[in-house]
Amino acid sequence: MLQFQSMEKRTILFDIDRTILDTEKMIKRFDELILDVLGSSNYIDYKNAESDYFKTLPNERRFNVSDYSEFLSARFKPNTEKLIFNIFYSDKNRHIFSDCVFMEALEILNKLNNYNLGIYSEGTAQFQNHKFKSLKLDKYFAKELVFIVDVKDTNEVVEKLPKNAIIIDDKEMVCEFLVNNKIRAIWINRKDKRKSDKFETIYSLLDLPAIL
C-alpha cells in the first residue's frame, strides 16, 4: 500500500505542569484544603514544611502524595495522613485540576486540528495519571500518544516517541536533551524573557501557531 508522507499529520506532545496546567494556581488551591485539615492558619510554617519535604527528594518529579501526606501529618498533626492524601484524590476535588488549566491552552488545543496531539509528562505515575484524567482534556489527545513516565530525559523513553514529534516543555534541560536526540523541542518560558539559543522559545501557548 502506498503511503503519502506529505499527507501525514505532525504530532505535538505537551508537557502537563506549567505548560497546559497552571501548577502554581493548583498548588495554592490544595494548600488551602490541607491547612484546613491541619487546623492551622500559619501559611508560612506550612510552606516551610513543604520546602523541607522537597529537600528530601532528588528532584521535584519524585513528589509522592502518600509520602508528602505522611510528612505533613508527622510535622503538624498526627493521624491526618489519610485525610491529606484524600484531598488530592477525592472525586469532589477533581475540578481543581480542570479549573487550573490555562485558558490559552484550551484556545490553542481547539485550533490544532491539523495535528495529532498527545502528552509527554513525568512524575509519580499514580498522581500524574490522576492529574491528567482530571483535566478533562481527553478529547484533544490520542490515547496512544499519552506518555506519562517517571523520567522524561532517558534514551529508553525517547525511543518510544513518534519520530516526527514536536514537544512543548517548560524545562530547559528536557528541551536540550530532546534537541540533542534530534527531536524538535519548543521551550515555553513563563518565568521571564530569556530566550534559548539552543531551541525555539515561546512565552505563551498563543505564540505556538506562528512557529509551527
Are the beta carbons of 127 and 97 closer than 8 angstroms? no
Predicted pLDDT at 123 = 93
Element spanning 187, H or E? strand 184-188
pLDDT (tens place) for every residue of the chain, 212 residues total: 333 344 578 999 999 999 999 999 999 999 999 999 998 778 999 999 999 999 999 988 899 999 999 999 999 999 999 999 999 999 999 999 999 999 999 999 999 999 999 999 999 999 999 999 999 999 999 999 999 999 999 999 999 999 899 999 999 999 999 999 999 999 999 999 999 999 999 999 999 999 99
Task: Name every residue whose Cβ is closer than 8 Å to that of residue 98 and which is 6 or more positions away in sequence.
Answer: 134, 135, 136
Could you tell me how far CA 60 lies from the centroid of its own chain? 12
Predicted pLDDT at 7 = 55
Predicted pLDDT at 42 = 87
pTM: 0.92
How far apart are the C-alpha atoms of 204 and 19, rounded to whole Å?
9
Predicted pLDDT at 5 = 42
Closest C-alpha among 150, 146, 148, 149 to residue 137: 146
How far apart are the C-alpha atoms of 202 and 195, rounded to whole Å?
8
